Amino acid sequence: MAGQGEGARPRVGPAWLAKYIVWLYRSTMTTTIPLLHDNHNHVSLYAAFSSCIDISRSAPDAALALLRGLPEDRLSVVRGWKSFELPMTSEELSSLPPIILINFSLHGFVVSDSGVPFLETTVPEVASMRNDQAWCEANVPPIFAAYCGLAGLDAKKLGEYIDRMLPLGIGSSDEMTVPTIQALDVCSSSPYDKRLNYWVAPALYEKMDIARRGLVSGIKLFLDGAVGSRSAAIEGPWIGPGKAMFTYADDVLLAILRRAGAYGTGLSAHAIGELAIEQALSAIEVAVREGARFRTIRLEHVQYIDVNQARRAKDLGIVLSMQPNFTSDSIDYTDRLTESYLKRNNPFRMLIDEVGFEPGRDMLFGSDGMPDGIAYAATQALFPAYPSQRLSLDELVAGYGTAKGVSGTVTLDIDDTERRVSVSGTSPVRLAP
């Protein structure tokens, strides 16, 4: 240790003693849960991203230094950008090497000036529309396809990504937006196929042959933006800039549901803000009344669902697919959300206790890969910012459900003093025959 001379003895002072006493009396509980299924992740996209630089865990200064040092002769795809920690000015973007910087939420990206020509040659439409936020929010699936193409996906990257989730407590996942037909083929022809459920955008579903359509769980729509890109469809007001973004006009959404309702497949819709949830419920009510049928109907995220909307969703037999991970939006986004929205986020107690949603039956949990694994979700479930967001460990486990195609157990350390859950082990892992 620097500055400590030969033969120096550790000093046992009052501060050290106090720390020791806290450590001695810390209350850590260890418990075992099954290996889980993540009901909402973007497996092929994150697998493709595994070869990219991830700045989500870097301090802003370190991230900026890293970006400045990237190669000048090629485009670097960088993920995990948190705009609230590292705002990008036009001066900054003009001085950086060629990069595409993808928002942590996957909604929103920026390109450095020197990166634009690289993007123009590979994904010209995305390049030309990059500064049109409304276009970007309305075209998430083609943007995911562009990310996947820029980063590259193959069977090796896919397998490595899924294997890396095992020690984090996750054995299988719903892949919520398979970006391209090639990505579906990579996934479905791999040994990991049994551990994945596939969802695709309506445009991709239309392009798929009958055999491929038979592989997917359903059609996934994006109805609004995200809090991370200040574009979730909340009434507001936002603190600072922010705008409710909708992918579809009401009549266009209804037309999509009418068409999708004849395919005999499932439906899933990303809807974060209460305005997007309202749009989803109204369109689903009409489409179902008219005869549209879906194997299952899921609403993803629904962070700002209110009690009346929850009752309507329950009456329609809708499954709420939510992310305990996003409970921490109530802490991370004090720069953009008012107290009322910080408090309304992820109202699990209302949904379960008042409206009767049941984790594992009509309430599912997933990570959205932000971050992967069960530890962060468990931390947010057991130690949330607001009591209305709390989930018991049993509810959390039921909402994730046990892994498919693989089984095992996961040991969790629950530290009441630090208010944190960590995974201390996963074993034994057995693949299904």
Residues near Zn ion (CB under 5 A) are 176, 368
> What is the nearest approach in angstroms of Zn ion to the Cβ of residue 27?
35
Smallest gap from Cβ 80 to Zn ion, in A, equals: 15
Q: Minimal distance in Å, beta carbon 42 to Zn ion?
A: 6
Q: Where are the alpha helices (DSSP H) in 316-359?
A: 329-332, 339-344, 348-349
The nearer residue to Zn ion, 263 or 326, going by C-beta atoms, is: 326
CB of 358 to Zn ion, least distance (A): 23
Q: Is the dihedral of CA 78, 83, 85, 87 positive or negative?
A: positive
- Residue 122 Cβ, how far from Zn ion at the closest point, in Å? 24
Strand order in the sheet with 297-301: 36-41, 170-175, 196-200, 216-222, 266-271, 297-301, 319-322, 363-365
Residues in the chain: 433
Q: Give least dist CB 302 to Zn ion, A.
A: 13
- Cβ proximity to Zn ion, 176 vs 275, nearer residue: 176
Q: Which is nearer to Zn ion, 39 or 112 (CB)?
A: 39
Shortest Cβ 232–Zn ion spacing (Å): 13
Classified as helix, coil or strand, 372 is coil
User: By C-beta, is 136 or 176 nearer to Zn ion?
Assistant: 176
Q: Are strands 109-111 and 170-175 parallel, antiparallel or unpaired?
A: unpaired
Residue nearest to Zn ion (CB): 368
- The closest of 248, 3, 287, 5 to 134, measured between CA atoms, is 248
Cβ proximity to Zn ion, 176 vs 391, nearer residue = 176
Contact 81, 53 (CB under 8 A): no
The amino acid that residue 295 corresponds to is R
d(CA 6, CA 412): 40
Q: How far is the CB of 62 from Zn ion (least distance, A)?
A: 27
Nearer to Zn ion, 40 or 230 (CB): 40
Nearer to Zn ion, 322 or 374 (CB): 322
CA distances 2 to 9, 13, 41, 128, 385, Å, are: 14, 20, 44, 53, 39
Name the 3-class secondary structure at 392: coil
* Residue with the two structure tokens 């006009």: 249
Residue 321 contacts residue 298 (beta carbons within 8 Å): yes
- CB of residue 176 vs Zn ion: minimum separation in angstroms? 5
As given in the structure block, the two tokens for residue 60 are 């802003």
Exposed, middle or buried: residue 244 (CB in 10 Å: 0-12, 13-18, 19+)?
buried
Nearer to Zn ion, 115 or 366 (CB): 366
For residue 160, what are the CA distances in angstroms to 6, 21, 30?
Answer: 45, 42, 28
C-beta of 42 vs 195, nearer to Zn ion: 42
